[in-house]
Every structure is written in C-alpha cells, then in structure tokens.
Amino acid sequence: MSKTTYNYVNGEWIESESGDTIEVENPANPNEAVGRYQSSSATDATAAVEAAAAAADDWASTPGPERGRILRAAGTLLEERKDELTDVLVAEEGKAHAEAGGEVQRAIDIFHYFAGKAADLGGTMKSPSAPNQNLYTRTEPVGVAALITPWNYPIAIPAWKLAPALATGNAVVLKPASAAPGVAIELARALDEAGLPDGVLNVVTGSGSAVGTEFIEHDAVDAVSFTGSSEVGEMVYDRATDAGKRVQTELGGKNPTVVAASADPAEAADIVAGGGFGTTGQSCTACSRAIVHEDVYDEFVAELVDRAESIDVGPGADHEMGPQVSESELESTLDYIEIAENEGATLAAGGNTPDGEAVETGYFVEPTVFTDVDSEMRIAQEEVFGPVVAVIKVSDFDEGLHVANDVHYGLSASIVTDDHTEANRFIDEVEAGVVKVNDKTTGLELHVPFGGFKRSSSETWREQGDEGLEFYTIEKTVYDSY
C-alpha cells in the first residue's frame, strides 16, 4: 500500500473534505503505486485561500532578512534530503536519475538565491522638488498569490514561483500537478520545519477544475502564476484577468535550433540531441525543430540519427532516458509520430515503443527523428512534448530564420554557427524569449529572466532573477513633508 500524503493548510496536514485520494503510479512500471494524495474539492481550496488571507498581513510585516532566514533554512533542509527527493522525483515523474538530481539541486539553489534577495527589498530614495520633503518608494507584497504548477519539473517550477513569492512577503496557495505532486509537498514540509508561520503557505492537491478554478477566482487571491499548456494557460489568463487578478503565465514552445552552413555537424547533433531528447522531450524549452542548412544537412542527419539510436531507454533510476509521465502523454506522442508519417515526413530513427524486459510495462518511446519535414506540417507547428525532433532543410540563413519564426510559439531558440554576423542577426531577429548561440535550447540560469513571446507566455511578467520578484510586488510612492 502506497503512503498517503495530506494537504498542508494553515500549518496542519489535513485530509480533504471528501476523503477521496489520487493514486500516483510509477510511469516506468504503472503497476507500482508510489504515492496517494488528496483529491480535493473547491471547499478545500477555499479553506486554503482563507488561511493564506488571514496570515498575509503578519507575513508582509515580517522583516525581509527574517523571511530570508526561513528560506535559507528550508533550502538547507532540502539539501540534506536531496537523495530522498531525487528518488521521489524519479518514481513519480520518471526522469533519469541524473536529471532528477539536477532538478532538485536547482530547487535548493533557488531557495538560497531568493533568501539573499529578501534582505535587499525595500525601495528607492529620490530627490524631491520641494524643500523639507522625503520622496521615496516602498516595495510591498501584492497579498495572496496562487501558484499552479506542472508535472514536468515538479520541484523546480514550484520552487521558482514559491521562493520569490515568499521572499517578497506574500502568502501563498499552491496546487501542484496531480501526476507528480510529491516533491512539491516536500517544499512545504521543509518550510514548515524551517519555521514558516502557519497559513503563509498552503498546498492543496486535486484537479484543476476544482482546486485550480477556486484559486483563480477567489476574491482573496491577488495574483495567479501558472505554468502549463498554452490552451489551458490562455483560459487561466482570461478567467483570472476577468476576476481582476494580476496574472503571469508560462506556456508551450516549438523551439528551433538553426544549424548554419558553418556548423560542425557532429557538434550540432550533440546540441540538438541534448535539447530534444533530454528529459524525454518533456520540457517547454525542448528542441523539437532542427532547421539545417542544405550544405550540412545529410551529415547532420546521420549524426543525429546515430545519437538517437544510441540512447539507453529504460527506468529513470538506472537508464539515460526515462518514460513519459503517463499513458496519455505516450499516446499523444505516438499519435504525432503517425500524423508526421501520414503527412509525408520520413521516419529516420525511432518512432516506436522500445523492446526489452526493462521497458515492457512502462510508458516508453524511442527517441525519434523525422526528415523531409516541411514547415507547414503539424509535426513542425504543434508542441509534441515527447522526444521527437523534426529536421527541416533550408537553403540559406534567411530562410532558416524565417522558418524558426514561422510558428505561434516563441519560448526558446538556438543557433549553431561559426559566423559571428549570423549569430548576432539571430539574436536580433529571432522571436523567442530565450536565445542561445552554440548551445541547446534547454537549461536556464536562475538569476536571469525567463519567459516567452507569442503563445509561449502572457508577456506580462517574467520569472526568475530580479524580474521574478516584480510580479509579486507593487510600488508605493511616499511624499513625506516635514
């Protein structure tokens, strides 16, 4: 029998109103239940929001250095439990062990980073036009922040929303994704043990239709931060803004890597394979389009196919690439593979579920490469969210740039080139919030902004770094005459 975990509301671990639960399975072995969590209702979500609202004023008035001390202590607790958290992440989400460990470390680093930032918050002093007057700004929290997070980075994304929200003095309600909620709940456990006051953080598991909707629409919620698909995120944005909330969304991607004529095909294949097949392709910044100059196309394809076919697929605990998170995600990827073949793309590698005893029960798919792809095909336009790379041939840099921008998304983009002019034109002209030169589309620094263009983001506030603090704060300007 798998362990039952409760909601965290007003400093207590409590059962949902109904007592119903959600069972989380191991995607590498769906017959193995690895956790049981509360299937909460709107009533449970309301209780969490009310607890946050009641705690908000006292937490807002807590000095920034004290808030930072609690975040730092929580980060240290996470560091002490890194191995345990890594195992939970592998079991619930399926990530390869090395990738899971890196994600847990990122959460630790995020807590330590924003712990330091908490002491620097305050405002700025300005010179007034009038005599005998102080003129300055104060940075204040917005109030109660609702965070709705996805399953693909189940500890990193909650951390990079939660840490700045708490550092700036907001009370928080958090709904982690039902597919892999365990590590997000461990963030609450660490903060509780670090001394976070009751009610400042509340974590409720359950469906988006019940818990998420209440978080988005409740009158006491002041800000909503959502990461997930573009379709759901756009609905969240509309409903939250209609309710007068401040809203931040980070959504899907169809991320290109342009391989220029000057690129080394083997190096470019390493970069594309790392971006396209890492984390089983289940990243909003994953490379799903390789846009390749015709002069290096054939050699690049051969190199990429070689890398795809050499990846060791199996349970994340001891293999290079783990399963997809669920049966529905696997079926979606296989559907896109079939669609690509029907539209005339050439299957150059993968395309099937792998054979072997280690992979016979899980949601595994082979790293897949399509060639002879036209930019108008669905495989080149729609987010697959699996380890599938579409290779598109172009005749020159300008065509490559046009194809890179010829989608409704604009999250991450990269170019592989030895031509400095091409690199700088790409930086200037590509429509993406994250731009990389001679690097893979995935992988983000925590101290710089993250966000996308077009359907990849609400284009309101960025996450991470100093800009990650801005969403959770509001400025007050003070004229103090004496």
Strand 473-481 with 133-141, pairing: antiparallel
What number is the average pLDDT over the span 298-319?
A: 98
Determine the residue type at 93: E
Active site residue 287: no
Model pLDDT for residues 47-64, shown as the tens digit of each residue: 999 999 999 999 999 999
> In 10 A of CB 166, how many CB atoms?
29
The count of C-alpha atoms lying within 13 angstroms of the C-alpha of 51, restricted to the half-sphere facing its C-beta, is 23
Percent with pLDDT over 90 in the chain: 99
pLDDT of residue 2: 77
Q: Could you tell me which of 271, 302, 323, 308 has the C-alpha nearest to residue 441?
A: 271
Helices (H), 406-464: 420-429
Query: pLDDT digit string (tens) for 328-340?
Result: 999 999 999 999 9
The pLDDT confidence band at residue 1, using thresholds 50, 70 and 90, is low
Which pLDDT does position 353 carry in this prediction? Answer: 97
* Pairwise CA distance, residues 431 & 409, whole Å: 8
Domains observed in the chain: 7-251+458-481 (3.40.605.10), 255-437 (3.40.309.10)
Confidence of residue 263 (pLDDT cuts 50, 70, 90): very high
pLDDT tens profile 85-115:
999 999 999 999 999 999 999 999 999 999 9
What number of other Cβ atoms are within 10 A of residue 150's Cβ?
Answer: 21
Report, as an integer, the average pLDDT of 282-292. Answer: 98
Q: Which residues make Cβ contacts (< 8 Å) with residue 317, sequence separation at least 6? A: 28, 87, 90, 97
pLDDT tens-place string over residues 209-250? 999 999 999 999 999 999 999 999 999 999 999 999 999 999
**Mean predicted confidence (pLDDT) in 259-271:** 98
Nearest to 413 by CA among 371, 349, 466, 456: 456
| pLDDT, average across residues 157-185 | 98
416 forms beta bridges with 259
Mean pLDDT on 419-445: 98
pTM of the model: 0.96
Given a cut of 60, is residue 79 above it in pLDDT? Answer: yes
pLDDT at 102: 98
Q: With CA atoms as reference, report the closest residue to 248 among 219, 231, 226, 228.
A: 226
Q: Which of 90, 121, 284, 365 is catalytic?
A: 284
pLDDT tens digits along 124-139: 999 999 999 999 999 9
SS (H, E, C) 99-134: HHHHHHHHHHHHHHHHHHHHCCCCCCEECCCCCCEE
Report the interhelical angle of 156-167 vs 97-118 (nearest 10°).
10
Residue 225 Cα distances to 20, 145, 238, angstroms: 27, 7, 13
Separation CA 143–CA 83 (nearest Å):
34
Q: Which of 36, 174, 155 has its CA nearest to residue 104? A: 155
Q: Where do runs of H (alpha helix) occur along 375-419?
A: 378-381, 397-405
- Other CB atoms within a 10 A radius of the CB of residue 31 amount to 8
CA 405 centroid distance within chain? 22
Token pair of 378 as six digits = 């669905």
Q: What is the pLDDT of residue 88?
A: 97
DSSP label at residue 478: E
DSSP strands (E only) in 5-109 = 7-9, 12-14, 21-26, 29-38
pLDDT at res. 375: 97
